[in-house]
Amino acid sequence: MIKMTHSTTTISKKQNLSLFLIVFSAILLVANAKPATFLQDFRITWSDSHIKQLDGGRAIQLVLDQNSGCGFASKSQYLFGRVSMKIKLIPGDSAGTVTAFYMNSDTDQVRDELDFEFLGNRTGQPYSVQTNVYAHGKGDREQRVNLWFDPAADYHTYSILWNHHHVVFSVDEVPIRVYKNNEAKGVPFPKFQPMGVYSTLWEADDWATRGGLEKIDWNKAPFYAYYKDFDIEGCVVPGPRSCASNPSNWWEGSTYQQLDPVAARRYRWVRMNHMVYDYCTDKHRYPVTPPECVAGI
């Protein structure tokens, strides 16, 4: 007969507790899992006949033809957080088209907005992504970067991190744009209005490609863009918790208040090698450099 000692009993209890915690944690992860399908987080806002659900709703196809473009939006609004999507852009000759992924306060006069706009190209030319920031109704802060890969060949992840310290636009976790909170220097920063998440595919051949010189070739239509892996982690408004100081809002943590050394190095690489337009250096539009562009800010 095996005699059960006190230490053996204690170990057995610890093992049972550990097993319980593992099972309990797994249950919590399942309960808090991100929505798996498009319609759980989003609604179609424009031309539902031009948005097709794929893979049981875990991916979607957007269509642009001569009849219409299309668009969708999140069902909720958020005040700070992080949103990301995997997008595969229009292949081939996409000149004059714009695929947009952005956050917007949906207010007319004093709008806040954070924009990704993917500008179509002629076959063989680089795909440009334009970012813009509207704060308290003031925009005109465009920057353009030529992507260093073919964004139509496969899915790539595009994300916006938004907290009290800065807004960071990233491509495959590489920062391409940082807009810092410089309210102390009189520069507006979007922090009072919640924003929804939006996307559209539309015709913009009056400005999108080479300033409107390249028009849409409708013989190449219809044009398709694809989305999947919709991920929104943000403070829902209205919601049960504070959007400012709750410690469970991970995006406000010290790790996310500035770029880490690796991200900062990647950011410098993008700006040195792939930036093709920066409003900060456009002396025709801004004879006086905007205050947020001054070195050291």
CA-nearest of 121, 165, 192 to 259 is 165
Distance of CA 189 to the CA centre of its chain: 17
Q: How far apart are CA 172 and CA 157, in angstroms?
A: 5
Q: How far apart are CA 43 and CA 224, in angstroms?
A: 19
Burial 248-267 (b: 16+ CB within 10 A, else e): ebebbeeebeebeeebeebb
Q: Which helix (H) or strand (E) holds 113?
A: strand 113-119
SS3 content of the chain, % helix, strand, coil (to 5): 25, 35, 40
Dig out the tokens for 266 from the structure. Answer: 């990647």
Q: Is 117 a catalytic residue?
A: yes
Cβ within 8 Å of residue 191, ≥6 positions away: 79, 80, 164, 181
Strand ordering across the sheet containing 196-203: 42-46, 70-74, 196-203, 97-104, 113-119, 128-134, 143-146, 275-278
117, 214, 252, 292: the catalytic one is 117
Q: Is 214 a catalytic residue?
A: no
Q: How far apart are CA 36 and CA 74, in angstroms?
A: 14
113, 203, 214, 252: the catalytic one is 113
Active-site annotation, residues: 113, 117
